[in-house]
């Protein structure tokens, strides 16, 4: 019985646990970014001639994000949190290595969208998005190379759903006024109109 138990323990440690560890390593290798959402300070999304810049208000008592470009306004926290979730959980199941001279074939010589993420420690990450693949299910993308003028380009295939997250109109990033606040404002305006004017 002791021999059988030892054998079971051996199988668990070297096969089952080893397989789980291997799966964890493979999943981590698919991860595009290695930072946590709490480390992000500024997010900039550039597409065509439009630029959206979001910045966390580090002095606010409650977690607050602001839009600082193309206008100044408070950002919708849930929308920004969803973007942060997508960024920190972004994975690529497939990748392609190609010559830098062939980037135009993937729409990456002049990227359609550029995502710039500045962290609180001063580090900056940039992700370029090009054209969709043949089936339209994935987007060709590229992380900004750490080395200057590399000879080969490492292209990631990302879900097209990630592009949809980035291409929201500015109105969807803005914080919407609370319905109760709107009712109070409307009631206050109505009360002022109903007040009788005193004769001079």
Q: Where are the domains of the chain?
A: 34-176
The CATH topology of domain 34-176 is Immunoglobulin-like (2.60.40)
Q: Measure the CA–CA gap between 86 and 82, rounded to whole angstroms.
A: 6
* pLDDT tens per residue across span 112-133: 999 999 999 999 999 999 999 9
Q: Measure the CA–CA gap between 176 and 171, rounded to whole angstroms.
A: 9
Q: Say how many residues make up the chain.
A: 200
According to DSSP, the β-strands at 94-99 and 73-74 are unpaired
pLDDT for 153: 87
Local confidence band at 57 (pLDDT 50, 70, 90 cut-offs): very high
pLDDT for 194: 53
Mean pLDDT of the chain: 82
Percent of the chain whose pLDDT exceeds 70 = 73
Residues 6 or more apart whose CB falls under 8 angstroms from that of 166 comprise 45, 47, 83, 113, 115, 129
Judge whether 49 and 110 are in contact, CB under 8 Å: no
Closest residue by Cα to residue 63 from 49, 48, 46, 75: 75
Local confidence band at 200 (pLDDT 50, 70, 90 cut-offs): very low
pLDDT for 134: 87
Mean pLDDT of 96-106: 90
* pLDDT tens per residue across span 25-42: 333 457 899 999 999 999
* pLDDT tens per residue across span 141-186: 999 887 666 678 899 999 999 999 999 999 999 998 764 444 454 4
Residues 6 or more apart whose CB falls under 8 angstroms from that of 62 comprise none
């Amino acid at each position: 019985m002791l021999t059988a138990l030892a054998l079971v323990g051996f199988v668990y440690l070297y096969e089952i646990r080893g397989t789980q560890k291997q799966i964890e390593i493979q999943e981590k290798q698919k991860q595009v970014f290695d930072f946590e959402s709490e480390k992000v300070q500024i997010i900039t999304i550039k597409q065509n001639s439009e630029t959206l810049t979001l910045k966390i208000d580090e002095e606010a008592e409650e977690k607050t994000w602001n839009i600082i470009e193309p206008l100044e306004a408070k950002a919708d926290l849930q929308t920004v949190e969803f973007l942060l979730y997508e960024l920190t959980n972004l994975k690529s199941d497939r990748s392609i290595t190609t010559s830098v001279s062939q980037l135009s074939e993937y729409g990456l010589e002049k990227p359609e969208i550029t995502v710039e993420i500045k962290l609180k420690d001063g580090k900056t990450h940039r992700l370029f998005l090009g054209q969709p693949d043949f089936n339209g299910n994935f987007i060709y993308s590229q992380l900004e190379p750490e080395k200057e003028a590399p000879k080969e380009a490492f292209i990631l295939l990302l879900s097209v759903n990630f592009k949809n997250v980035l291409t929201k109109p500015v109105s969807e990033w803005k914080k919407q006024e609370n319905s109760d606040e709107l009712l109070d404002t409307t009631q206050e305006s109505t009360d002022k109109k109903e007040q009788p004017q005193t004769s001079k």
